[in-house]
Chains A and B, each alone.
Chain A
Amino acid sequence: MSEKLYNNLLFQSIFLMLFLILVGLLIPNWLVFVITKAIAYGLVGLGIITLMRGGLVSFGQGFVFGIGGYTAGLLGTQAGLTDAMLLLFVSFLFTGLVGLIIAPLLARYRDIFFAMLSLAFSMVLYGILIKIDAIGGSDGFVLPESTYFGIKPSSEYADYLLYVVAIIMTGFISILLRYYYDSTPGLIALAVRENELRVEYLGSSAFNVAVLNFTIAAGLGGMGGALNGIALGHIDPEFTYWTTSGEFVFISILAGYLSVPAVFLAALLLELVRSFSGRYFPDTWQLILGLFLILSIIFIPSGIGSFFKQFFDRLKKSNK
């Protein structure tokens, strides 16, 4: 049964990726760009959801988002590395490594203490970044235009190529994450969320689960930051500011922890609401955005993912 499900998952995901790549040719440039950006934010949200499965929420994912962005940016400006795929991958690995180093410190804490300590990390990084004038201080800096396998595309196709790269890399990462969520350590995370003490009595380590999840979340956040930086072509310390971290938390709450695609949908939804309220209500866009946040928390408390789950559960029932 499970074997069949997994094959099915791989098939479904690749089908979805191809579909999205084709859709990218039909929709206008700005929407391609907005989706790319939503993918970047969704990646970070996915990291938070990985943590949420183990009962932890990070208020400081801006920390890894910023590290990933600056890694990609500095490799681009200082080392002349401009291949988008390579930049995303290196940022993923490097930020994951940073995550692994600080994870043992954070993993000892739970609840609000974990959240506040992660927030502290991100704000310390923010404080450092705005003081370093060599990399633009609070102005940030402009990234060189990225290349794809050594080819520099003309500006009409640059957005689309980055979109394709983002879809492919994110698609495969999402598949791997689904496998991870359904694996033994992934399921132990859910058990930790329910009752940490009992998990320890049964011989598993809640600490190790938290370290592993934080490392994964860091890698994902780093890749999201790199993707966001490359897409915008500009990076500044605002990436690590607490309001940015807050957005990631909101995306994860809007998505819920039940479904992987829901995270990207939530990020896209937030991006569209923000962008259109800014466009049509320039004086009161924060009010519209705030109303959207409040209403979505009141009416979909367990997230968009719960719709997905209901939908697929019903499908499975009808197939029987």
Chain B
Amino acid sequence: MNFFRQCLILMSSILISLLTFVGISNADGHKGFKLGVVTFLSGPAAEPFGVPAWNGGKLFIKLLNEGKVPAPYNKKGFGGMKITAIPIDESGGATKQVQEFRNLVQRDKVDAVLGYVSSGDCMAIPSVADELKALTVLYDCGTPRVFEDASYKYVFRTAAHAAMDNIAIAKYLIEKGHDISSIAGINQNYAWGKDSWKDFSVSVKKLSPSSEIKNELFPKIFSGQYGTEISALMNSKAKVVHSSLWGGDLQSFILQAKPRGLFKRTQVVFSAGDHVMPGLGNKYPEGVILGARGQYGMMAPDTALNKWFYKSYMDEYGVFPAQPPYRMVQGLMGLKMAIEKAMEKNGGKKPNKDEIAAAFKGLEFDSPGGLVQMKLGDGHQAIQPHAIGTTAKDKDGNITVTDIVRYKASCVNPPNGIKAVDWINAGFPGADC
């Protein structure tokens, strides 16, 4: 029995160490607001997207905690509660993110999670979020399917989905009189790329039924090498090449396609093209039509809130803010407004997630990119005004965006209850432009 006793001693020591370990990791009782922030901090999407987004978020949270943000965001933190952010790396695929999400909710006991750039992650997280009853704000990802194919109680998206980007680009091409008799596309082979191409090609077909589709290319996400695809696009001689590539993929594509003359030969349109401008600088090609997934960066509206944000970011980091920081700040603003609205209702206590979710539904708030309205998906999905422009060199030889056309939110977003692709197919009924 000596052996048995030794085993018991071993097991109880394991148990004790486990419990101490658990005790330590649960020790931090918390009075403020604990926020998990998930964005790309490593891999090809980090440098042009994830890191600037988090830079914007970090700065905004710091200023909120100090109470230095102009009205209506001038209350300290979230309704007086100090915000503690826990950043988590988004790289590694949807399955890993589900696990990290569970860790944030169950281990760190965060009050809310703000995150997700990749549409694949946004498709995977919401069902887990509802299962764990965890308040989740999707701040960036684009696929319209999140709230079109399902509905969730605790999940909100504070930015418009990708249908807007592609509808607006199609409209812009026609308004500016570009030749769209033939189109081709290069988009990543996952939810975002597929949906973007579908929305764009169907919109073009709807607005100009005679145009024909030449090439539909779907390279893998983060593949980084586009030699073959560029050859195929050059050979197809399509008048317009559409792409929803983003992050490091977009940078690689631009750097590989520019010397081969793709941008001179065809009209290239990028549905999410501005966020690599700070990194590429004057290597960015001229004459490209691009959207920023909202009125962001060089296409931002001339409002006091935007001027404040643009200047704060510029002062802190020395580059202009493109789409990513705008979108993260937009998510934080939505969350702040929802929390403060819930606190008004419950008499100033820290609201629980049901109260915040109830306040979030159908919320409207001002952001540097314009008015955000949680109108779709029964009040869970935002719409916002949009802008499309064309790149050109200014008189100093720097790349800038000109020929900007602004679109009302209701002009390029479907009404509540109608799927984006059905709305496009029906010829945009009820669009208020």
A binds B: yes
Contact assessment for A232 and B41 in the assembled complex, using a CB-CB cutoff below 8 Å: no
Q: Distance (Å) between the CB of A225 and the closest chain B CB? A: 11
Contact assessment for A282 and B2 in the assembled complex, using a CB-CB cutoff below 8 Å: no
Q: What residue in chain B is nearest A314 (Cβ atoms)?
A: B6
Q: A27-B18, A234-B98, A236-B95 are in contact. Are A285 and B106 (CB under 8 A)?
A: no
Q: What residue in chain A is nearest B38 (Cβ atoms)?
A: A282
Contact assessment for A282 and B95 in the assembled complex, using a CB-CB cutoff below 8 Å: no
Distance in angstroms between the alpha carbons of A137 and B123 in the assembled complex: 12
Q: Out of A16, A137, A140, A239, which one reaches B189, CB within 8 Å?
A: A137
Distance in angstroms between the alpha carbons of A171 and B149 in the assembled complex: 40
Contact assessment for B106 and A30 in the assembled complex, using a CB-CB cutoff below 8 Å: yes
Contact assessment for A139 and B18 in the assembled complex, using a CB-CB cutoff below 8 Å: no
B124 on the A face (CB < 8 A)? yes
Q: Distance (Å) between the CB of B32 and the closest chain A CB? A: 18
Q: A37-B99, A232-B99, A275-B103 are in contact. Are A23 and B94 (CB under 8 A)?
A: no
Q: Is the interface of A mostly helix, strand, loop or mixed?
A: helix
A112 on the B face (CB < 8 A)? no
Chain A interface (Cβ < 8 Å from any Cβ of B): 12, 15-16, 19, 23, 26-31, 33, 37, 130-131, 133, 136-140, 142, 145, 155, 228, 232-236, 238-239, 241, 275, 278-279, 282-283, 285-286, 315-316, 318-319
Chain B interface (Cβ < 8 Å from any Cβ of A): 2-3, 6-7, 11, 15, 18-19, 22, 26, 41-42, 86-89, 92-96, 98-100, 102-103, 106-108, 119-120, 123-124, 127-128, 131-133, 189-191, 194, 220-221
Q: Which residues of chain B have C-beta atoms less than 8 A from A236's C-beta?
A: 93-95, 120, 124
Distance in angstroms between the alpha carbons of A130 and B194 in the assembled complex: 13
Contact assessment for B95 and A315 in the assembled complex, using a CB-CB cutoff below 8 Å: no
Contact assessment for A30 and B107 in the assembled complex, using a CB-CB cutoff below 8 Å: yes
Contact assessment for A140 and B108 in the assembled complex, using a CB-CB cutoff below 8 Å: no
Contact assessment for B103 and A279 in the assembled complex, using a CB-CB cutoff below 8 Å: yes
Contact assessment for A238 and B3 in the assembled complex, using a CB-CB cutoff below 8 Å: no
Q: Out of B2, B19, B95, B131, which one reaches A145, CB within 8 Å?
A: B131
Contact assessment for B3 and A315 in the assembled complex, using a CB-CB cutoff below 8 Å: yes
Could you name 23 residue pairs across A and B whose Cβ atoms are closer than 8 Å?
A19-B11, A28-B106, A31-B22, A31-B107, A33-B99, A138-B189, A139-B123, A139-B190, A142-B124, A155-B133, A228-B95, A236-B120, A236-B124, A238-B93, A279-B86, A279-B88, A279-B107, A282-B41, A282-B89, A283-B89, A315-B3, A318-B2, A319-B3
Q: Out of A232, A275, A286, which one reaches B95, CB within 8 Å?
A: A232
Q: A138-B120, A145-B131, A232-B99 are in contact. Are A319 and B2 (CB under 8 A)?
A: yes
Contact assessment for B89 and A278 in the assembled complex, using a CB-CB cutoff below 8 Å: yes
The tally of CB-CB contacts under 8 A between chains A and B is 112
Q: Which residues of chain A have C-beta atoms less than 8 A from B127's C-beta?
A: 142, 233-234
Distance in angstroms between the alpha carbons of A139 and B119 in the assembled complex: 8
Q: A278-B89, A318-B2 are in contact. Are A139 and B103 (CB under 8 A)?
A: no
Q: Which residues of chain B have C-beta atoms less than 8 A from A155's C-beta?
A: 131-133
Distance in angstroms between the alpha carbons of A31 and B119 in the assembled complex: 28
Q: Distance (Å) between the CB of B75 and the closest chain A CB? A: 28
Q: Out of B7, B98, B191, which one reaches A139, CB within 8 Å?
A: B191
Distance in angstroms between the alpha carbons of A26 and B18 in the assembled complex: 10
Q: Which residues of chain A have C-beta atoms less than 8 A from B3's C-beta?
A: 315-316, 319
Q: Distance (Å) between the CB of A128 and the closest chain B CB? A: 13
Since A30-B102, A140-B95 are in contact, a sample of 11 more A-B pairs with Cβ atoms closer than 8 Å, ordered by chain A residue number, is A28-B106, A28-B107, A137-B190, A137-B194, A138-B190, A139-B94, A228-B95, A234-B128, A236-B120, A236-B124, A279-B108
Q: Distance (Å) between the CB of A9 and the closest chain B CB? A: 12
Q: A37-B99, A145-B131, A283-B41 are in contact. Are A234 and B18 (CB under 8 A)?
A: no
